[in-house]
Amino acid sequence: MARPFKQQRDPGANKPRAVAVDPDAVPQRLHKLLALAGLGSRRDMESLIASGRVTINGKPATVGAGVVPSDVVRVDSRPVRLPFEPELPQVLLYHKPEGEIVSQDDPEKRATVFDKLPRVKGAKWIAIGRLDINTSGLLIFTTSGELANRFMHPRYEVEREYAVRIFGELSEGQMLQLTQGIELEDGPAAFDVIHPQGGEGSNHWYQVTLREGRNREVRRLFEAFQLPVSRLMRVRFGPITLPPRLKRGMMMALQPKEVLDLLEWAGLETPKGPLKQRSNREIEKAATAFTPKVRKTAVTGREGSTARPAVAGGRAGKPVATKKPAANRRVRQTSDLTAPRQQKRSDRNRGRG
């Protein structure tokens, strides 16, 4: 039976499904939703929209534009799921050691804290505040740009508390001057609180609190009195204090109830529905501190290509095992092969009818 010809499909027959438009939907600011989606802070999202990389229903978006759930928003031609309803973000606490930088792009290829962060689906980690390479202590990561903005924006004046060890000792007059204000290169600066914590020999510890995060501000305030800082550690940022069980180089995730309390402190919207029920194992695992592992990066060969190691049996990650030639091994020669025996005439007719 002849096979019938395949019918040609009409390209205009399959029309895209119409999205239900809610006439009562209240437009929300695009840069705010992009920040809630974890793509960056509000200021970063405004710059992203101004660069022309964001579109609404196929048209370039403008700064301050509003969107509703029926709109299709794309960033670099990729669709983005916008959280019109508030979702519970993720928050990580990290005890940063010295020797790591808080940056995703470093031309010197130094160790960065972002190499140790676990992968998160549909969002990205945002570092709340920075610590320089020689500073250790509390570092907070979140997937909410709104929450990060609430911590870092200068108008909110969120307190930062540090433990400082200096080479030398402050006098009563110097501590008073540090709380009243000192003129630095980029303007006046001062500590809100400074308390001596004792010390041994020439090294003395101080506990300081301030409400801004200018570059190397704590170090520069002490260096104004020719007292170099030999150790600097952040122990508190806003309502979050560095947990004692979080040792250097370890990481811990905040519990959903703790994240809700943090959102209420920041004055942000919280999810209206009940929290997801978790098993005892998930609760126990989330509450424990862990040591993160550095991500393995692919080895790049020539420019524009990524070199992958050879694999055996089609399985990735297992290199091919190459056998070493045995010593004094005799190579088989052609003369070692025996000539095929000639077939007998009686065997040629065997099996014929």
Smallest Cα–Cα separation from 111: which of 297, 316, 251?
297
Residue 95 CB contacts under 8 Å (≥ 6 apart), including other chains: 136, 137, 138, 139, 242, 246, 247, 248, 249, 250, 251
Give the number of other Cβ atoms within 10 Å of residue 83's Cβ. 19
Distance of alpha carbon 232 from alpha carbon 223, whole angstroms: 13
Distance of alpha carbon 224 from alpha carbon 73, whole angstroms: 51
Contacts of 117 (CB under 8 A, 6+ apart): 92, 125, 141, 292
Rounded distance between C-alpha atoms, residue 76 and residue 100, angstroms: 31
Q: What is the DSSP letter of 73?
A: E
132 is catalytic: yes
Taking each helix axis as running N to C, give the angle between helix 145-152 and helix 256-266, from 0 to 180 degrees, rounded to the nearest 10.
50
Contact partners, residue 174, CB within 8 Å, separation at least 6: 225
d(CA 46, CA 48): 5
Structure tokens at 292: 């993160």
Residue of 132, 192, 336, 347 with catalytic role = 132
DSSP code for 115:
G
Active site residues: 132
